[in-house]
């Protein structure tokens, strides 16, 4: 299905670093909500989701380096939705975009391995460059996914501190006798794996940290990012959700160089005719602040 | 796709209660591992997974009341795997089996709603009777799934204390100033929702509790099950994983009446010719202890 691109030549972290430095930090979400399909004059169907996704890929190509399909919006159409997603993923690969499959999968043993196989195996119909995962069953339960990723030059983003308020009670809970917050314990675990696996400046194992949170409440001190291999951060919460892409340095401190600024609604709501210029506008806003 | 059966007539909890009392507590997993497909003389492909799943349904029908497909093993084949799963689900519905889709999905807002729509909407190609979910983003983040389930007569099982050792650190972490264990906090939250929604003896919102765990370490006292509407328990860890179906009362105390004894490898490893008798054997073993 895929020619595997440069996936075999470099780690995900190395490829991500190259994309961030040449294309910037913006990642465009591919979220075919029912209401967005309606606004885009598309049917609320697998066909509509496919047309939507392919248009977002087309508008993103050459402007940004990363796209992130929210798989829930394809899954609701069953196998037809997955066939639509496969075509969107193929377009994204052909366009040279880095794809983060936002699937938030989590399981253990052979089931975890099967999820990794689905999304991270070169040549798989659902092949992406990285996937999001959920570590409620322990970061260790995801070992088969992490190993597969390392072998195949792929990436994994583990949910740590998510952007919604309902997540706080579990994610701020205290682990063990040291009382480390759950989100911090996950960040530390992922960071240790990056130090052990990687030699480059950016690791292949990342975390999800919401941009609108008080990260101190999750035990996370962004000034204390590791000096060696940095753990990349997939950061929702920008655009419609309130955070500003110009504030990445302030919000993420020592992690800023590896932050992926994820925006969905803020660009998708522009509609099929204006999405390309909406993306250009978001890029120029972020660029002006940094330049 | 589906005639919705009696889904519209009764809550999931009421249907589950009927199945448990007439068909017993055994639930047969549908886990088309690569190695099981090989042992069954099937190809490691969507076609192989479909043949495997349909045979398991056929062997289960009339013997047990509940089956549980592990969706990871279908997802690894992309859209073809989902098309295979749709046919397995259709067979299970036609056979009158209660289906728990083991998907462990978790997300928030419209994405969570989309996952609920995929698995719990009557007539959806992936329609099941219940799905497993992951509450790392908070039980509240799953509100759209729980609401849809209640409306559609469907069920939801929230991961609380999973059967693997790596899950312990997060699931035993202490929430807030009261220091409630995460798994216990989830059980309490789910239980409150059952008391608020249901009038029957068994709720439609369940939890996953591993059968091989020391539940006290997760803050769970099985003797203190609520007197009113009981929260059902999906319990992995039986059979191959070590727990014995004859020990349900001892392990789950006040929750025993609502426990679903999930077994996969112990019956699937019997192969296509002997699986029906392997299921009959597991039933007779459990029955002898209870009778």
Residue-wise pLDDT tens for chain B (291 aa)?
333 344 446 999 999 999 999 999 999 999 999 999 999 999 999 999 999 999 999 999 999 999 999 999 999 999 999 999 999 999 999 999 999 999 999 999 999 999 999 999 999 999 999 999 999 999 999 999 999 999 999 999 999 999 999 999 999 999 988 999 999 999 999 999 999 986 789 999 999 999 999 999 999 999 988 878 999 999 998 877 788 888 999 999 999 999 999 999 989 999 999 999 999 999 988 765 443
* Residue A17: per-residue pLDDT: 97
Alpha-carbon span A116 to A133, nearest angstrom: 10
Alpha-carbon span B279 to B270, nearest angstrom: 9
One of A18, A54, A104, A265 is an active-site residue; which one?
A104
* Residue B197: per-residue pLDDT: 81
Task: Check CB contact under 8 Å for A72 and B169.
Answer: no
Secondary structure, 3-state, B224-282: HCCCCCECCEEECCEHHHCECHHHHHHHHHHHHHHEEEEECHHHHCCHHHHHHHHHHHH
Task: Check CB contact under 8 Å for A72 and B115.
Answer: yes
Inter-chain Cβ pairs, chain A and chain B, closer than 8 A = 190
Give me the residues paired with residue B158 across strands. Answer: B133, B207
Contacts of A219 in chain B (CB under 8 A): none
Q: Are strands B205-209 and B259-263 parallel, antiparallel or unpaired?
A: unpaired
Q: Any chain B CB within 8 A of the CB of A185?
A: yes
Distance of CA A153 to the CA centre of its chain: 16
CA atoms within 13 A on the CB side of A135: 31
Task: Write the residue in A107, A136, A141 that is nearest to B136 by C-beta.
Answer: A136
Quick check: is A104 catalytic? yes
Q: Any chain B CB within 8 A of the CB of A124?
A: yes
Mean pLDDT, range A18-43, rounded to an integer: 97
Task: Write the residue in A72, A126, A138 that is nearest to B164 by C-beta.
Answer: A138
Task: Check CB contact under 8 Å for B76 and A118.
Answer: yes
* Residue A288: per-residue pLDDT: 52
Task: Check CB contact under 8 Å for B104 and A109.
Answer: no
Q: Any chain B CB within 8 A of the CB of A269?
A: no
What is the complex's ipTM, to 2 decimals?
A: 0.95
One of B104, B192, B265, B281 is an active-site residue; which one?
B104
Q: How many other C-beta atoms can be found within 10 angstroms of the C-beta atom of residue A87?
A: 16
Task: Check CB contact under 8 Å for A175 and B176.
Answer: no
Contacts of A166 in chain B (CB under 8 A): 108, 137-141
Contact call for residues B158 and B207 (beta carbons, < 8 A): yes
For residue A291, the distance in angstroms to the closest alpha carbon of chain B comes to 35
Task: Check CB contact under 8 Å for B86 and A107.
Answer: no
Alpha-carbon span B108 to B259, nearest angstrom: 28
Closest residue of A to B210, CA-based? A137
Alpha-carbon span B46 to B81, nearest angstrom: 5
Q: What is the DSSP string of A224-277?
A: G--SSSBPPEEE--BGGGSB-GGGHHHHHGGGGGGEEEEESHHHHTTHHHHHHH
> What are the two backbone dihedrals, phi and then psi, of residue A2, each rounded to the nearest 5 degrees?
-120, 155
Distance of CA B112 to the CA centre of its chain: 18
Closest residue of A to B265, CA-based? A110
Per-residue pLDDT reduced to its tens digit, A69-106: 999 999 999 999 999 999 999 999 999 999 999 999 99
For residue A30, the distance in angstroms to the closest alpha carbon of chain B comes to 12
Task: Check CB contact under 8 Å for A170 and B111.
Answer: no
CA angle at B110 for the pair B5 and B175, rounded to the nearest 5°: 100
Distances (CA, A) of A16 to A26, A140, A155, A195: 12, 24, 9, 17
Q: Is A216 exposed, middle or buried (0-12, 13-18, 19+ CB in 10 A)?
A: exposed
Contact call for residues B47 and B83 (beta carbons, < 8 A): no
Assign A198 to helix, strand or coil.
Answer: coil
> What are the two backbone dihedrals, phi and then psi, of residue B70, each rounded to the nearest 5 degrees?
-90, 105
Q: Any chain B CB within 8 A of the CB of A123?
A: no
With tokens 């930090």, the residue in question is: A25
For residue B173, the distance in angstroms to the closest alpha carbon of chain A comes to 5
Q: Any chain A CB within 8 A of the CB of B123?
A: no
Domains of chain A: 12-286 (3.20.20.70)
Per-residue pLDDT reduced to its tens digit, A251-287: 999 999 999 999 999 899 999 999 999 999 999 887 6
For residue B21, the distance in angstroms to the closest alpha carbon of chain A comes to 30
Element (H, E) at A19: helix A12-23
* Residue B289: per-residue pLDDT: 46
Compute the Cα dihedral for B175, B178, B181, B182 and give only its sign. negative
Q: Are strands A26-30 and B259-263 parallel, antiparallel or unpaired?
A: unpaired
Test the A interface: residue of B137, B167, B176 with most A CBs within 10 Å: B137
CA atoms within 13 A on the CB side of B226: 21
Contact call for residues A116 and A149 (beta carbons, < 8 A): yes
Q: How many other C-beta atoms can be found within 10 angstroms of the C-beta atom of residue A228?
A: 12
Compute the Cα dihedral for A264, A67, A257, A203 and give only its sign. positive
Q: Is A209 exposed, middle or buried (0-12, 13-18, 19+ CB in 10 A)?
A: buried
The confidence band for A289, taking pLDDT boundaries of 50, 70 and 90, is very low
Closest CA to A160 of A147, A176, A142, A144: A142
Closest CA to A12 of A275, A232, A279: A232
Alpha-carbon span B91 to B95, nearest angstrom: 6
Closest CA to A231 of A257, A262, A264, A250: A257
* Residue B243: per-residue pLDDT: 84
């Amino acid at each position: 299905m895929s020619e595997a691109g440069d996936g075999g030549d470099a780690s995900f972290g190395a490829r991500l670093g190259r994309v961030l430095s040449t294309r910037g930090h913006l990642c465009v979400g591919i979220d075919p909500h029912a209401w967005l399909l309606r606004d885009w004059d598309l049917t609320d169907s697998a066909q509509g989701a496919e047309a939507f996704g392919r248009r977002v890929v087309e508008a993103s190509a050459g402007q940004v380096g990363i796209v992130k399909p929210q798989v829930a919006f394809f899954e609701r159409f069953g196998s037809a939705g997955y066939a639509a997603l496969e075509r969107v993923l193929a377009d994204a690969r052909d366009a040279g975009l880095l794809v983060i499959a936002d699937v938030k999968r989590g399981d253990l043993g052979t089931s975890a391995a099967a999820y990794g196989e689905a999304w991270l195996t070169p040549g798989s119909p659902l092949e992406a460059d990285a996937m999001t995962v959920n570590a409620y069953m322990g970061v260790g339960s995801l070992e088969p996914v992490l190993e597969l990723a390392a072998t195949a030059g792929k990436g994994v983003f583990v949910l740590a501190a998510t952007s919604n308020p309902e997540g706080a009670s579990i994610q701020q809970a205290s682990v063990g006798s040291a009382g480390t917050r759950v989100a911090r314990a996950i960040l530390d675990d992922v960071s240790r794996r990056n130090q052990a696996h990687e030699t480059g400046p950016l690791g292949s194992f990342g975390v999800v940290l919401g941009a609108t949170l008080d990260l101190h409440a999750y035990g996370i001190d962004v000034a204390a990012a590791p000096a060696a291999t940095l753990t990349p951060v997939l950061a929702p919460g920008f655009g419609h959700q309130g955070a500003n892409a110009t504030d990445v340095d302030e919000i993420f401190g020592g992690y800023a160089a590896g932050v992926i600024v994820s925006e969905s609604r803020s660009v998708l709501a522009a509609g099929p005719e204006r999405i390309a210029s909406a993306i250009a506008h978001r890029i120029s806003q972020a660029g002006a602040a940094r330049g």
